[in-house]
């Protein structure tokens, strides 16, 4: 690895800033809409059953098109696909802001999800192309991880500010100047990459089956709060989605001349382990935001804006821990840092299982959240580095997409399961009482802690103790 000769230049810093801003554009939109849902429902006349599609339309399109987006970047150039994704996202944001009916907003959100599916894997792939393996790439990933974590909390705060101030439409209009800035700055991403022009064809069947399969699974999971896990509709969607993905694997391995995903990638032990951990980590992280938010608002009675502000210290510790992760890896190795960070996260989640009915922010909520943030932040860079280690540049887009797919599907599926378990635990107490709700949230935190303990075991088994990786 030629890491000692690498010198950070102004162009490297600028390129990393542009890529982080693109990731922020994507990450903010995942959370900024949540706190504005009541205002959107009142203004556009959404029913209780259809309101969830303001969120679900984005998530289904995002999860469904990630693999396709990654492959398009590998074939036609990551800068070009990133540019197209930003342009699509910006136009869709304008359409969402001007929407005068519920179906127009849902359609615009779906297009936003498609644009995000083109943006997210390209940011990781371009970082891997611009910065060589070793400390330079690890530092770049640390900055990227910090920007991602900060964006999620920024979305919660900004959503509350816009909903209480100029109106919910501004949660979409705010994307316009950011998108235009990115479109103006895209030429600065000098990577020296050359699209894979040798590929004469495109695996359309693979693209359709993988997109439809992942999209149906995401749709089925997200609708379980309405249909339930045992309903005919849910089971049918899960079965069809699984069947499409099974055929996708068969098609890629036996039939396709230009596979969408080179299945040889899955012989990379590090990549498989990193994606498995990413799915479990996503489930735990989704649970933290979901249950903590419901506890703060439903049990303690805090406002949406106040709840968003609670996550600011969590974001700060995530940023600090993300920067600390590469240093720890150089001293202790990837497997020990990921395992240790996972156990720290599990400890924080176990502390959250002790949340009382009349808890306080400073004494009961904030300390466990900071412990969780420390553990989750430390493993961001080692996990990302492990997922892309040894992956050839021609497959970096797909490998990055796999990591995003794992996070989204793992998070959505995990949250659906954990929320169902929490609801069952709540049902054991007085119907609708604050104590019953708190008991359910505590149980959900406990299950999430168990998932992070499993992550620690996987890390110890799968990864080699390579201190020189980041």
- Whether 438 and 393 share a structural domain: yes
In a domain, residue 197? The reply is no
- Whether 83 and 154 share a structural domain: yes
Residue 92 or residue 267, greater confidence: 92
Q: What is the CATH number of the domain that holds 73?
A: 1.20.1250.20
Q: 94: exposed, middle or buried (C-beta count within 10 Å: 0-12, 13-18, 19+)?
A: middle
- Whether 233 and 334 share a structural domain: no
CA distances from 23 to 82, 89, 272, 431 (A): 11, 12, 23, 42
In a domain, residue 312? The reply is yes
Q: What is the pLDDT of residue 432?
A: 58
Tokens 């999209």 belong to 215
Q: Say whether pLDDT at 258 is over 70.
A: yes
Domain carrying residue 255: 204-259
Find the distance separating the first CA and the last CA of the chain, reported in whole Å.
Answer: 11
| pLDDT digit string, tens, across residues 382-419 | 888 888 777 776 676 777 777 777 877 777 777 777 77
* Confidence class for position 124, pLDDT limits 50, 70, 90: confident
In a domain, residue 127? The reply is yes
DSSP output for 430-454: STT-HHHHHHHHHHHHHHHHHHHHH
Helix pair angle (102-130, 78-98), 10° resolution: 160
Whole-number average pLDDT of the chain:
81
Q: What is the pLDDT of residue 85?
A: 93
- Whether 279 and 224 share a structural domain: no
- Whether 431 and 282 share a structural domain: yes
In a domain, residue 29? The reply is yes
Residue 24 or residue 5, greater confidence: 24
Q: How many domains does the chain have?
A: 2
In a domain, residue 198? The reply is no
| Of the residues 244, 259, 274, the one at which a domain ends | 259
- Whether 131 and 211 share a structural domain: no
In a domain, residue 468? The reply is no
Q: What percent of the chain has pLDDT over 90?
A: 17
List the single range of 37-41, 448-452, 453-457, 459-463 with lowest mean pLDDT.
Answer: 37-41
- Whether 19 and 160 share a structural domain: yes
- Whether 250 and 135 share a structural domain: no
In a domain, residue 1? The reply is no
- Whether 168 and 307 share a structural domain: yes
Helices (H), 223-333: 224-227, 232-250, 269-294, 304-332
| Of the residues 259, 285, 301, the one at which a domain ends | 259
Coil vs helix vs strand at 3: coil
In a domain, residue 219? The reply is yes
Cα(230)–Cα(160) distance, integer angstroms? 36
Supply the DSSP symbol for 131: S
- Whether 243 and 124 share a structural domain: no
| Of the residues 219, 235, 259, the one at which a domain ends | 259
Q: What is the pLDDT of residue 275?
A: 87
- Whether 227 and 317 share a structural domain: no
Q: Say whether pLDDT at 470 is over 50.
A: no
* Confidence class for position 222, pLDDT limits 50, 70, 90: low
Distance from chain centroid for Cα 399: 15
Residue 405 or residue 239, greater confidence: 239
| pLDDT digit string, tens, across residues 345-379 | 999 999 999 888 887 878 888 899 999 989 988 98
- Whether 314 and 246 share a structural domain: no
């Amino acid at each position: 690895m030629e890491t000692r000769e690498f010198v950070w230049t102004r162009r490297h810093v600028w390129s990393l800033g542009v890529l982080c801003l693109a990731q922020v554009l994507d990450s903010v939109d995942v959370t900024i809409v949540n706190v504005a849902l009541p205002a959107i429902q009142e203004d556009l006349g959404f029913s209780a059953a259809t309101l969830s599609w303001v969120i679900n339309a984005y998530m289904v399109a995002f999860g469904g098109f990630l693999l396709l987006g990654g492959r398009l970047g590998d074939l036609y150039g990551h800068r070009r696909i990133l540019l197209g994704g930003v342009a699509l996202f910006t136009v869709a944001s304008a359409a969402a802001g001007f929407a005068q009916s519920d179906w127009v907003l849902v359609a615009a959100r779906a297009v936003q999800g498609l644009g995000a599916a083109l943006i997210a894997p390209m940011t990781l792939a371009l970082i891997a192309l611009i910065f060589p393996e070793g400390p330079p790439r690890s530092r770049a990933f640390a900055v990227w991880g910090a920007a991602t974590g900060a964006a999620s909390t920024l979305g919660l705060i900004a959503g509350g500010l816009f909903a209480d101030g100029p109106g919910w439409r501004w949660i979409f209009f705010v994307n316009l100047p950011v998108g235009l800035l990115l479109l103006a700055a895209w030429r600065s991403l000098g990577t020296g990459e050359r699209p894979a022009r040798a590929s004469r064809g495109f695996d359309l069947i693979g693209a359709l089956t993988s997109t439809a399969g992942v999209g149906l699974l995401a749709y089925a999971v997200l609708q379980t709060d309405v249909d339930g896990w045992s309903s005919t509709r849910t089971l049918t969607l899960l079965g069809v989605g699984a069947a499409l993905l099974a055929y996708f694997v068969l098609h890629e391995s036996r039939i396709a001349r230009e596979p969408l995903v080179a299945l040889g990638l899955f012989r990379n032990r590090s990549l498989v382990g990193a994606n498995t951990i990413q799915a479990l980590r996503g489930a735990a992280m989704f649970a933290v935001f979901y249950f903590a938010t419901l506890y703060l608002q439903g049990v303690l009675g805090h406002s949406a804006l106040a709840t968003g502000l609670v996550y600011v210290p969590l974001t700060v510790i995530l940023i600090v821990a993300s920067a600390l992760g590469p240093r720890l890896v150089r001293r202790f190795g990837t497997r020990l840092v990921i395992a240790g960070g996972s156990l720290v996260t599990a400890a924080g989640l176990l502390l959250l299982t002790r949340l009382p009915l009349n808890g306080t922010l400073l004494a009961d909520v904030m300390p466990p959240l900071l412990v969780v943030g420390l553990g989750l932040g430390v493993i961001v860079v080692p996990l990302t580095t492990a997922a892309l280690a040894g992956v050839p540049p021609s497959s970096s887009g797909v490998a990055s997409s796999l990591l995003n797919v794992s996070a989204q599907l793992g998070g959505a599926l995990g949250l659906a399961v954990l929320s169902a378990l929490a609801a069952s635990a709540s049902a054991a107490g007085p119907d609708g009482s604050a104590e019953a709700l708190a008991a359910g949230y505590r149980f959900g935190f406990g299950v999430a802690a168990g998932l992070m303990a499993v992550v620690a075991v996987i890390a110890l088994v799968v990864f080699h103790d390579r201190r020189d990786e980041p």
